[in-house]
Structure 1
Amino acid sequence: MLRRAAMVSALLLTSSVFTECSEKALDIDNPNQLSPTLFWRNADDAEKALVATYGPLTTIMGWGRMMGAILTTLRGDDLNPFPAQEVNDVGTFAVASTDNRVLEGWGELNAIVARANQVIANVPAIQMNEARKKEILGEAYFLRAFAHFHLLNMWGNIPLITKPVNALEDILVPQAPAADVWASIKSDLRQAQSSLPAEPKDVGRATAGAATALLGKAHLYTKDWAAAATEFKKIVDGTQYRLVANYQDNFQAATNNNAESIFELQYQRSDTGNWGPSGTPNPWRGQAWEPDVAPKGYTSQASTTINRWVYDLFMKEKTITGAIDPRAFATMIWNYPGAKVYQDDFTKAFTGSDQNNVWVRKYLNFDRTSSLTPGSWAYPTNNRRMIRLADVLLMYAEAENEANGPSAAVYAAINRVRARATMPNIAPGLSQAAMREAIRNERVLELTAEGDRIFDLNRWGITADVFTRNPALRSNSGGQFQRNKNELLPIPQNDINTNPQLKQNPGY
């Protein structure tokens, strides 16, 4: 496991090696800075640098909070956030390029890229066990691809930096064509795929399966359907991963790192952490985005609801025994007999119109009395499952349907997901278009509130149509989607000011 103590010491040791350049840093010698010539000496240095590369994933600025909900989950049409200046501006379409939340997510992802570049450039020359060296490089390639994948899909126009930053001119570069970034992502993932083991050195590290799944996803997002299906099939036909019997086990701390998980972020509880990015002393690494999605009255934040169309989709079809889809109870809280909000009865938790709302249940920790107690920002440790088998099965079904139509393999994949929830098989004889719709609906039933929805809408090219035709999707805030703007996040103004070669995204 990526233990907290080891991660903290690694970040302290290597933060000066991986920090971004500035003119001031180039002009002044820092007596406390560790020279690269003194650091990249042995296997221990290689391991510390790799741990530092994982570091930004789980900070408050990364998937600890900003990437965990504010910059991803709150942007989909499945959720309906209430307004909160800067905090929920991304989800309510009021975001500006000066928004600190945007800068924080952008910064942590770019920190992963910068650190991975250092590992890839310096580890090959270290004298150490060659097998472990290969794995370290494979992990670095995976992490760089992972960061570039999210930067590209969230910001759209990004620089492509694949070498260590040693001078100001190395970082003051223009944005690269998306095709070049995709090519780099796929190349990195093929390298990772061939270098990584099936089982990780420590729980939470990248594996060959994680690289295969993300490579398939990269092909899917670029509409290379056959290549995507080929990669996903390696996992679908394999025996390493399986759907767990209880759907809710994918969102609870007691069942972290279960058999369905392909790549999972490891949260760590800390009562004495600090609010800051990786590289700062002892940053919080708990699951800190629960307050952003917890119901009103159970959070210090503005909260969000689940849009009614998601509830309606869950209620549209019953299980083979005539019951409600069990995934509904793990995903949503609504006014049904026996419904609980943390440890309170639903009918006592809410009054007035709030009793008619549908609230988020997924990833909430009901062993607590609210998202605030006994602690909010660093208390929960239910890991974020970034890639799990059910998602891969549905992506495989999509890729295969687009490549070859609704074949037997498509039916088998989607029905495998539905069977876990005791839902009936998809009706036979569907057209390709009808199966496409069935797969898209199944992604809602399986993945609501997991942060995937905005990525799906964007890659399908329907984001603007969905939001502009349905203004009620942002009824809590009255936010109005602007076509050719809100599909992407703004490039942080700080970077625009620093690098004159960067161009802002349209509309900002």
Structure 2
Amino acid sequence: MKKILLMFIAACYVLISCDSDLTIPDPNRLSRESYWKTEQDAINGVNAVYSTLHRGAISRWMPFYYIVRSDEGWSTSPATDIVNNMDQFVVTDYNYGNAYGIWGDLYTGIFRANQVIYYVPDMEISEEIKNRTEGEAYFMRAFFYYNLVSLWGNVPVLIDPSTPEDKPFTTPMAEVWRLIELDLGMAIDKLPAQYSSENLGRATKGAAQTLLAKALMQQHKYDEALTPLRWMVEGEGAGIYDLVDNYRDNFLITTENNRESVFEWQFAINPTEFTDDDAATPNHNYGTSLAQFFGPSGIGWSDGEARRWPIWEMMEETTTTGDRDPRIAASFLYDSTDVGGPEQTMIYGQTFASRYGTNNNRVWFRKFQNDHWKNEEGYRSPNNWRFLRYADVLLMYAECLNEEGQTTQAYQYVDRVRQRAGLAALSTAKPGLSQAAFLEQLKHERVTELSGEGHRWNDLARWGDLGPDLASRDAGFANFEVGKDEILPIPTAEIDLNPNLTQHDAWK
């Protein structure tokens, strides 16, 4: 399942070097000219691109900006920099380390992807490996730019292997989105629809179709997004992907890369490491430390927590048998993860009551934690991050159909998601909704299905819902300035290094 991880780290070191001004080559160091020769070179090259997902800023802090900064999460961390920058919209340091780290890691990934895209086409290797590795690199470059444009808006674009002398200009958002679309189009053309078991976890044609649909939807190009989504739901993808029977199987280490998984970040335990602390070691990044930072108090650092209102949202309906929505227990750790209450709810081997008492209202995200197989967290979690799931695809398809006036046709895809959770079909519970009412219902469906998976911020941005009105359920939004806080300021240090970069007007 995770065999491709074993080659990530070594390949990573091969590709981060830049051209040297020295005229005498170092015989102990691979150069660009001496490296790109064999099929294994191409494979290792693209493995290094994936390896960027394990870097601390991306695997730990980037989810904070999508989850904690949105209205479904918040922070009570004693680290006030986390609270101010990631929750309260109080940004005073444009070089804030955790945000700047994400920026740097995303561009590291782009640098690695650019090398694959630049060098692999001229390699004398099989067309199968050439197409696949190029396609993976195009997909990953689009992924990195998708996050840059989502978080920072106008950003510099680099499409060739860079050098320290490069001084790219700031690129308007529309052009960044266009590059993402082009890259994903290339990925769709070159990627296989499926892999054999030893390559599970690599980007597929379906992953590229889905990310393309997301990019188009963020630009309100709903009609164009229908094409890649149709491939996923009514075309070839329908024979590959489906919902798993048990919702929680999407978040357990024993059921990774299942038929509902469209793309997930691969994490693993490094068998040569016998520590789970935060010490820097050469192979530290086989796993992710996010579970440690989202872990409940006394288990992890609890720097990111869940708001309670999504639970109330999930409790608006019961299943057709009168039971509670099972997605509540799969999504959150709180006083009533077990319907029996704090005395019956287990938190990493102890009852909620014994850990926190019976009147504690704190809630933690559960989906990517490890309480299903151990009673502690650490810095090297092997639990994959499920970035794209088929349930998300079905809800995206329903949203696009509704936006194009095909509300009646959209019902069936919401029905599939609801019925997997045991709820009545929407076509039975609320037939005949207007286009506007159906969108409001979809907002509810995406909360109940996808809470804590990192999509909430972009959902709110797409719907135009970011603003102080959200303060009624997330106090941090009282500080939100419309026209400014939708994006982050470009790091000042980058502008100091590159006079061609322009700070966003709202952050000047």
Q: Which residue of 2 aligns with 1:243?
A: 243
Deviates more, 1:109-118 or 1:384-393: 109-118
Q: Is the 8 A contact 1:70 1:87 kept in 2?
A: no
Q: Is the 8 A contact 1:16 1:33 kept in 2?
A: no
Q: Which residue of 2 aligns with 1:7?
A: 8
Letter in 2 for 1:157: N
Q: Which residue of 1 aligns with 2:492?
A: 493
Deviations 1:37-74 (A, max 9, x none): 111222222122111111101222222x122x323221
Deviations 1:415-453 (A, max 9, x none): 100000011122111000000001111000001111111
Q: Find the aligned partners of 1:85 and 1:2 in 2 and give their Cα distance.
A: 39
Cα drift, residue 357 of structure 1: 2.9
Q: Which residue of 1 aligns with 2:54?
A: 58
Letter in 2 for 1:136: T
Is the alpha carbon distance of 1:503 and 1:223 closer, same or farther for their aligned partners in structure 2, counting shifts above 3 Å?
A: same
Cα drift, residue 401 of structure 1: 0.3
Is the alpha carbon distance of 1:367 and 1:322 closer, same or farther for their aligned partners in structure 2, counting shifts above 3 Å?
A: closer
Is the alpha carbon distance of 1:464 and 1:276 closer, same or farther for their aligned partners in structure 2, counting shifts above 3 Å?
A: farther
Cα drift, residue 147 of structure 1: 0.8
Q: Which residue of 1 aligns with 2:184?
A: 189
Q: Is 1:457 aligned to 2:460, yes or no?
A: yes
What TM-score results when the alignment is normalised by the length of structure 1?
0.89
Q: Find the aligned partners of 1:311 and 1:29 in 2 and give their Cα distance.
A: 63
Letter in 2 for 1:343: G
Q: Which residue of 2 aligns with 1:80?
A: 74
Q: Find the aligned partners of 1:287 and 1:66 in 2 and give their Cα distance.
A: 11
Q: Which residue of 1 aligns with 2:425?
A: 425
Q: Is the 8 A contact 1:120 1:137 kept in 2?
A: yes
Q: Is the 8 A contact 1:275 1:284 kept in 2?
A: no
Is the alpha carbon distance of 1:14 and 1:305 closer, same or farther for their aligned partners in structure 2, counting shifts above 3 Å?
A: closer
Q: Find the aligned partners of 1:487 and 1:324 in 2 and give their Cα distance.
A: 35
Deviates more, 1:4-13 or 1:246-255: 4-13
Letter in 2 for 1:177: P
Q: Find the aligned partners of 2:296 and 2:241 in 1 and give their Cα distance.
A: 33
Deviations 1:331-390 (A, max 9, x none): 12333312221211111121375x223332222211466544xxx111x21111110100
Deviations 1:73-99 (A, max 9, x none): 211101121142334432232343121
Letter in 2 for 1:344: Q
Cα drift, residue 275 of structure 1: 6.5
Q: Find the aligned partners of 1:156 and 1:93 in 2 and give their Cα distance.
A: 17
Number of paired residues?
485
Letter in 1 for 2:361: N
Q: Which runs of 5+ in 2 are unaligned?
A: none
Letter in 2 for 1:341: I
Is the alpha carbon distance of 1:28 and 1:407 closer, same or farther for their aligned partners in structure 2, counting shifts above 3 Å?
A: farther
Q: Is 1:157 aligned to 2:158, yes or no?
A: no
Q: Is the 8 A contact 1:263 1:387 kept in 2?
A: yes
Q: Find the aligned partners of 2:325 and 2:12 in 1 and give their Cα distance.
A: 44
1:191-206 alignment to 2 at 5 Å? 191-200=186-195, 202-206=199-203
Give the secondary structure class of the aligned counterpart of 1:127: coil
Q: Find the aligned partners of 1:27 and 1:487 in 2 and give their Cα distance.
A: 44
Q: Find the aligned partners of 1:183 and 1:356 in 2 and give their Cα distance.
A: 45
Q: Find the aligned partners of 1:139 and 1:435 in 2 and give their Cα distance.
A: 36
Q: Which residue of 2 aligns with 1:178?
A: 173
Deviations 1:305-349 (A, max 9, x none): 322321211111111111111101111233331222121111112
Is the alpha carbon distance of 1:161 and 1:29 closer, same or farther for their aligned partners in structure 2, counting shifts above 3 Å?
A: farther
Q: Which residue of 1 aligns with 2:293?
A: 292
Q: Is the 8 A contact 1:2 1:204 kept in 2?
A: no
Is the alpha carbon distance of 1:203 and 1:368 closer, same or farther for their aligned partners in structure 2, counting shifts above 3 Å?
A: closer
Q: Which residue of 2 aligns with 1:362?
A: 367
Is the alpha carbon distance of 1:371 and 1:450 closer, same or farther for their aligned partners in structure 2, counting shifts above 3 Å?
A: farther
Give the secondary structure class of the aligned counterpart of 2:264: strand
Q: Which residue of 2 aligns with 1:259?
A: 259
Q: Is the 8 A contact 1:343 1:368 kept in 2?
A: no
Aligned identity (percent) is: 34
Q: Is the 8 A contact 1:311 1:358 kept in 2?
A: no
Deviates more, 1:336-345 or 1:311-320: 336-345
Is the alpha carbon distance of 1:435 and 1:367 closer, same or farther for their aligned partners in structure 2, counting shifts above 3 Å?
A: closer
Give the secondary structure class of the aligned counterpart of 2:86: coil
C-alpha RMSD of the superposition: 2.4
Cα drift, residue 33 of structure 1: 4.6
Give the secondary structure class of the aligned counterpart of 2:388: strand
Q: Find the aligned partners of 1:407 and 1:479 in 2 and give their Cα distance.
A: 37
Q: Is the 8 A contact 1:56 1:112 kept in 2?
A: yes
Cα drift, residue 507 of structure 1: 3.2
Q: Find the aligned partners of 1:485 and 1:33 in 2 and give their Cα distance.
A: 45
Cα drift, residue 290 of structure 1: 1.1
Give the secondary structure class of the aligned counterpart of 1:71: helix
1:81-480 alignment to 2 at 5 Å? 81-83=75-77, 84-88=79-83, 89-95=85-91, 96-166=93-163, 168=165, 171-200=166-195, 202-237=199-234, 238-270=238-270, 271=273, 281-299=282-300, 301-336=301-336, 337=340, 338-351=344-357, 355-367=360-372, 370-372=375-377, 376-378=378-380, 380-408=381-409, 410-426=410-426, 427-467=430-470, 469-470=471-472, 473-474=474-475, 480=479
Q: Is the 8 A contact 1:80 1:474 kept in 2?
A: no
Q: Find the aligned partners of 1:307 and 1:401 in 2 and give their Cα distance.
A: 29
Q: Find the aligned partners of 2:278 and 2:356 in 1 and give their Cα distance.
A: 32
Q: Which runs of 5+ in 1 are unaligned?
A: none
Q: Find the aligned partners of 1:158 and 1:302 in 2 and give their Cα distance.
A: 32
